[in-house]
Amino acid sequence: MSALPNHVLVEWMSDQKLGSRELAELVNKAVAELTGRPGGLDDSNIRAWRSGRVRCPKSVQLRALEMVSGKSATDLGFERRTRSPATAPAQEEPPVLRRNLIQGAVAIAVAAATPAHAAPRRIGVADVERLQQRFADIVASDHRHGGQQTIEQQAAALSNEALRLQTGGAASQRVRGYLYASAAAFRSSAMWAAIDGRRYNSAIEHMREAQQLAEMSGDQAIKFRIWSHAGTMYRHMKRPADAAAANDVARNLSITRRDPMFASLGHARHAAIHATAADISATRRSFEAAQEAMLRADPDADRPMWMRAFYDQAELDSLALSAFMTLGQYDAAEAHAHRCLAALRPHMHRSRAITTSRLALTQLGQGDLEPAVASAMHVPKDAATTHPRVIEMLATVGNELRRKAPTSPQTRLWTEYARCLKGTGR
């Protein structure tokens, strides 16, 4: 009888955009971390797993694969080999799917795996700093890719890792507060990835857990982030009353009185919520307040890494672009789009793709077909084929072109380009 393909593994690799050679390299690196010797897998071994010719990898390879994927052998479609009673089952590790994340995650896992007979390990600031580096990796990945389920899964797994450290050893009250804040920060990143990917049910689940963790941490900045994200989530869900209520919680936190930059972000997001409710005057007032608060803010003040990484004049203009586009004021929206694109920092790949897509829609709203198509075609192909919000906006570009000018050269050009995009998408 011929072997049956491991469809579960094949589907997982496809979801994570991993080829056989790349997965082999990741597993080899994890084997080296476990044993001190490099693994010997190549792409032919992975193809044997995929085809079903190998029903289950060897124990150390399987353990390494579980560490890389964050899934058990059975969840990956393998039939686990029979274990002796003395062999402990493998523990699930966080899903680390990019090479620049695996070493840190393995280090955390090894540090947390204290034998039962040993004295409790002292959890200190170094453990928190290691988690903070992982958080920086998550934020950087979000700015590059945005909305991907892998980012959501990585962030959620690292939140759980921070909580496991809570029970893995003794720690001061201050360090425990840091650990809860780290867990809340990771969970809020999972929430944002789900929002950005239009997975609202998952986002709500992450939000609830993040809120509880933030309360236990007492960290005002992370509370602001979570409630501000909640306001954005409800705005995208077309629930302006809930959006305003959630964002009001963020805006009323004491951190907005201590630091005008937080106040600015609160006002800017509230302006976008007012636009969803079609309140033009309130939208303008809130953006004026956001701009005024940003001008008062000390640019060199000590702020959380996530805040420094994204909120600046470009983001304020991005929110204004979204708001005025919602209100149908396309000329004002286009002006903010150009300002945003001119000020965006190089690492803001996702934001640039979203802003360029919105720019195309604002130009189309003014009847400028040729600039609109040119803008839409400037959206990077990876974002145009993988980012849910960008895909949705570019589909709207095509629909509007066909509605406004079905036989125009610009419509034909975009239709052909979109067909090619679809052919290259995964």
Please identify which residue in the block is written with the tokens 């609109």: 372
Closest by CA to 112, choosing from 136, 130, 96, is 130
pLDDT digits (tens, 9 = 90+) for 345-391: 887 888 999 999 999 999 999 999 999 999 999 999 888 888 888 99
Kind and range of the H or E run holding 166 = helix 149-167
Q: What is the mean pLDDT of residues 47-64?
A: 85
The Cα 45–Cα 52 span in angstroms is 11
The Cα 337–Cα 330 span in angstroms is 10
Q: What is the DSSP string of 169-204?
A: EE--HHHHHHHHHHHHHHHHHHHHHHHHTT-HHHHH
pLDDT digits (tens, 9 = 90+) for 308-334: 888 999 999 999 999 999 999 999 999
Kind and range of the H or E run holding 1 = none
* 14, pLDDT greater than 70: yes
Question: What does the pLDDT read at residue 341?
Answer: 96
Q: Which token pair is 117?
A: 């007979």
Q: Which token pair is 390?
A: 């960008």
The Cα 250–Cα 165 span in angstroms is 28
For the entire predicted model, the pTM comes to 0.67
Residue 98's region, left for phi above 0, alpha for psi from -120 to 50, else beta, is beta
Closest by CA to 184, choosing from 145, 210, 208, 156, is 210
Q: Write the single-letter amino acid at 272.
A: A
- Residue 423 pLDDT grade (very low, low, confident, very high; cuts 50, 70, 90): low
Q: Which token pair is 118?
A: 């040993």
Question: What does the pLDDT read at residue 108?
Answer: 39
